[in-house]
């Protein structure tokens, strides 16, 4: 249309339309208009449509926001790139049925739906936040246009994501300007569909990984989130993705901020604020192609180590750059030879993010075994994976370089990487000696280190490499021939931790991967010698810091708080989020190790016990553990559960806060434990009196968090296990300013005048008789 007819049309619309009536709620008909200052409110009052000015801007935009929230959170903008510079904006439906946003003073057009309606047009704001243009034909209504198809920076529940650039989610330029920003993400249908986040026209920042029937491969934690569901439908070249809330009363959103971060947030009415529950990218290995082609990013390597490794059968393209911690050049096939299309095989990479599938091929009807066979038949196929973990049927095969692969802690999926016959033979020789000869659980096998390699690494267990002495033996630092630093737990031949405890520790820890758990690399058995090879953590154990006034100065309150949260998350993983359900039974300060960044890692699983999926508690007539950390039902009756670990966590939290050992005498009351001392102060309203002076922050907010941690610690050490919170509850309470219940009387433990005790194992001759608590005769309830 030429300009003059458009101006005449707009002037005609302005003349014949009636002002929007305040008695109306969610609709605009052909004989109405919505002026600046007027609003549509959805039928359930969840969303509002109207004119607004963002931040400190004076420009006016037509947008949609949450109605009942205290801050105006805009989720959609009509004229984001064409603002109105005054309050003359008017939203109308033209005679042909399309919606127009124009100026009632100048007739300038700022936005339109550019659709025609044959029947009677009607615009309505739905309660889910979707603004729709309807064509009415009698009692029937047909959606001709909807805002859900043209998002700005936000995706709401039930908003169907479609493929193509027209349906991309694009960031604002800034908090004051909703214009199209530099960052956007799209649902890419090529190969196996996935969400890809870009900066600029072609720079990939992050990708979700392909949909595997349960979650996006690069967001495996989606499978554990219970408050929302997600569905991906692949129908030929047509792919859609939609997520929804299981509780329709919840308020949640995905939004892309101007920095290029994709955020998932839930509104919490109780505290009146948004809870950011996830964001992407969140760590170095999330960034696209961080380790280059055929590289694998592992954020759980020893703290401070370069996170990049090469996929099986590959080596760094530029070794010097790799040494300088630059993995962008990626990896190339080893010089042993190229793939031959004869004699090749696959190496399984567990807990992986499937590489970029843009050039992949998807077959939703092929099972995984046939998938591998088909990949071997094609000389260009370099890897394969399951495309549907839920059904077990579905195959995605990859070709050329494998880009943007990473490792997850206990999540992710299996990726099968193609290697040549030479690499297969070498790996078979490396993995031949397995621990499975010791017990029946063949899935728990881990590599066995040669004893000579351990002797070389530790300098024949020299005193200079000794890191510490525990109840079951000594720990030494070592350096393997490839430069990998390790910690070797050498079990004493007279130790009460016999072959069963040794097997137990290997059986459990070999299956665990979490950033707050110490990683087991392998083990070594040589005659009567039994050794466990762990990752080396530079800063020793937590007790070295919190019980020493000088070393304790290195742990200010923010760091201590992060340590408390990290320990809680590690326990939550053991109790709930891992494939197993594990009770640690010996959580204490000396069994929490610290990496170079002072991140906590729970260690020493010799006493841990595996629970069945539905099992809640167990008992034993051989009570082992550490005095001061054991729950009363375990110490006195041999009964243990996740709540006994929660008790130990509560004790440890109070130790971190106070800088005092749980069994240390107190000048004020030398006959009572730390728990009893804290309880007395709590009842008197003097909870902050227990806080180590080196941690004091000097602000009201800091004191509130410290007091909150004291209360959480007391909740965990309540006498009855039923009253104690689960570790899931603890993690939530630590991360959210919710109202906490008042703690009941804790389990008091009377003691004599001694300062410290090590692990108690019934019948152990290693513990002085004056410090021993005899538990071997107790009968479990």
Token representation of residue 205: 């920042």
- HSE-CB at 747 with a 13 A cutoff on CA atoms is 25
CATH number of 152-282: 2.90.10
Q: Do the strands 381-386 and 413-419 form a parallel or antiparallel pair, or are they unpaired? A: antiparallel
Q: Report the residue count for the chain.
A: 781
Calculate helix-pair angle for 674-683, 642-658, nearest 10 degrees: 70
489 known member of a binding site: yes
298, 586, 692, 758: which one is catalytic? 586
385 close to 363: Cβ distance less than 8 angstroms = no
The DSSP bridge partners found for residue 296 are: 309, 405
CATH number of 435-535: 3.30.200.20
Which option is the CATH number for 543-760: 1.10.510.10, 3.10.100.10, 3.40.50.300, 1.10.10.10? 1.10.510.10
Distance from chain centroid for Cα 408: 10
Domain-by-domain residue ranges, the chain?
Answer: 1-150, 152-282, 286-431, 435-535, 543-760
pTM: 0.57
CATH class of 1-150: mainly beta
479 close to 263: Cβ distance less than 8 angstroms = no
SS3 assignment for 698-752: CCHHHHHHHHHHHHHHHHHCECCHHHCCCHHHHHHHHHCCCCCCCCCCECCCCCC
pLDDT by 10-residue block (mean), the chain, 781 residues:
44 45 72 92 96 96 96 96 95 87 90 86 94 86 93 95 90 96 93 93 92 91 82 83 90 95 91 89 93 92 74 89 88 75 84 93 92 91 94 93 91 90 63 43 63 82 79 81 82 61 73 86 80 88 88 88 95 85 88 91 79 61 71 82 92 92 63 83 89 66 85 94 93 90 79 35 29 27 25
Strand positions, DSSP E, 353-424: 361-367, 381-386, 393-399, 405-406, 413-419
User: What gap in Å lies between CA 296 and CA 310, rounded to an integer?
Assistant: 5
What backbone torsions phi and psi does residue 347 show, to the nearest 5 degrees? Answer: -110, 130
pLDDT at 752: 36
Q: What is the DSSP string of 40-63?
A: EE-TTSSEEEEEE--TT---BEEE
Can 586 be counted among the known catalytic residues?
Answer: yes
The DSSP bridge partners found for residue 532 are: 489, 523
Q: Fold match between 1-150 and 152-282?
A: yes
* Spatial CA neighbour of 512 closest among 443, 451, 573, 590: 573
User: What gap in Å lies between CA 165 and CA 184, rounded to an integer?
Assistant: 9
What backbone torsions phi and psi does residue 127 show, to the nearest 5 degrees? Answer: -65, -25
pLDDT at 669: 55
What is the C-alpha R_g of the chain? Answer: 31
User: What gap in Å lies between CA 368 and CA 384, rounded to an integer?
Assistant: 9
């Amino acid at each position: 249309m030429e300009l003059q007819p458009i101006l005449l049309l707009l002037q005609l619309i302005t003349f014949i339309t009636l002002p929007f009536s305040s008695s109306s709620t969610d609709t605009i008909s052909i004989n109405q208009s919505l002026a600046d200052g007027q609003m549509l409110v959805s039928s359930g009052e969840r969303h509002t449509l109207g004119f607004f000015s963002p931040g400190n801007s004076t420009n006016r935009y037509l947008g949609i926001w949450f109605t009942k929230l205290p801050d105006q959170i805009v989720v959609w903008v009509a004229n984001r790139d064409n603002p109105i510079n005054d309050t003359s904006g008017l939203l109308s439906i033209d005679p042909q049925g399309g919606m127009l946003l124009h100026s009632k003073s100048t007739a300038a057009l700022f936005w339109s739906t550019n659709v025609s309606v044959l029947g009677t047009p009607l615009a309505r704001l739905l309660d889910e936040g979707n603004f729709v243009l309807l064509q009415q034909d009698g009692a029937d209504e047909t959606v001709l246009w909807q805002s859900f198809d043209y998002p700005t920076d936000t995706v709401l529940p039930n908003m169907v994501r479609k493929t193509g650039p027209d349906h991309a989610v694009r960031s604002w330029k800034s908090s004051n300007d909703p214009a199209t920003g530099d960052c956007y993400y799209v649902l890419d249908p090529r190969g196996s569909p996935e969400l890809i986040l870009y900066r600029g026209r072609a720079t990939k920042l992050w990708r979700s990984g392909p949909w595997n029937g349960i979650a996006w491969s690069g967001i495996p934690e989606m499978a554990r989130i219970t408050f929302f569901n997600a569905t991906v439908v692949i129908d030929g070249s047509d792919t859609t993705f939609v997520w929804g809330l299981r509780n329709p009363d919840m308020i949640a959103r995905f939004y892309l901020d101007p920095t290029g971060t994709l955020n998932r947030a839930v509104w919490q009415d109780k505290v009146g604020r948004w809870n950011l529950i996830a964001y992407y990218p969140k760590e170095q290995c999330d960034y696209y192609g961080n380790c280059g082609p055929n590289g694998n990013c592992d954020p759980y390597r020893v703290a401070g180590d370069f996170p990049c490794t090469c996929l099986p059968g590959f080596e760094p393209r530029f070794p010097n750059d790799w040494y300088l911690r630059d993995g962008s050049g990626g990896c190339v096939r080893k010089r042993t030879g190229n793939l031959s299309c004869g004699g090749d095989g696959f190496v399984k990479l567990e807990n992986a993010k499937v590489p970029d599938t843009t050039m992949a091929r998807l077959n939703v009807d092929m099972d995984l075994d046939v998938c591998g066979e088909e990949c071997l038949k094609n000389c260009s196929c370099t890897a394969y994976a399951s495309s549907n973990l839920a059904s077990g049927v579905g195959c995605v095969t990859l070709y050329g370089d494998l880009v943007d692969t990473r490792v997850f802690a206990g999540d992710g999926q299996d990726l099968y990487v193609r290697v040549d016959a030479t690499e297969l033979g070498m790996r078979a020789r490396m993995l031949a000696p397995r621990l499975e000869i010791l017990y029946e659980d063949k899935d728990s096998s881990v590599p066995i280190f040669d004893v000579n390699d351990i002797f070389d690494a530790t300098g024949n267990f020299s005193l200079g490499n000794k890191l510490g002495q525990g109840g079951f033996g000594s720990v030494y630092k070592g350096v393997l021939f490839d430069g990998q630093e390790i910690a070797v737990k050498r079990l004493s031949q007279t130790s009460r931790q016999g072959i069963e405890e040794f097997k137990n520790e290997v059986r459990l820890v070999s299956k665990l991967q979490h950033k707050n758990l110490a990683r087991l690399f392998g083990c070594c058995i040589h005659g009567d010698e039994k050794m466990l090879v762990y990752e080396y953590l530079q800063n020793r154990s937590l007790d070295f810091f919190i019980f020493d006034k000088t070393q304790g100065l290195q742990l200010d309150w923010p760091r201590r708080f992060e340590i408390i949260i990290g320990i809680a998350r590690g326990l939550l993983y053991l109790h709930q989020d891992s494939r197993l359900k594990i009770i640690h039974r010996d959580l204490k300060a000396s069994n929490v190790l610290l990496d170079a960044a002072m991140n906590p890692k729970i260690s020493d699983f010799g006493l841990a016990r595996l629970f069945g999926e539905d099992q809640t508690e167990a008992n034993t007539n051989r009570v082992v553990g550490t005095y001061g950390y054991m729950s009363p039902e375990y110490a006195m009756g041999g009964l243990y559960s996740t709540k006994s670990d929660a008790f130990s966590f509560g004790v440890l939290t109070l130790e971190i806060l106070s800088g005092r050992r749980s069994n240390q005498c107190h000048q004020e009351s030398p006959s009572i434990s730390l728990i009893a001392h804290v309880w007395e102060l709590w009842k008197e309203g003097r909870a902050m009196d227990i806080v180590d002076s080196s941690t004091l922050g000097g602000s009201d907010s800091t004191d509130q968090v410290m007091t909150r941690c004291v209360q959480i610690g007391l909740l965990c050490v309540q006498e009855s296990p039923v009253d104690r919170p689960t570790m899931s509850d603890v993690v939530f309470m630590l991360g959210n300013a919710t109202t906490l219940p008042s703690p009941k009387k804790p389990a008091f433990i009377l003691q004599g005048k001694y300062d410290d005790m090590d692990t108690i194992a019934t019948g152990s001759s290693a513990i002085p008789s004056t410090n021993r608590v005899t538990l071997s005769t107790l009968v479990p309830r």
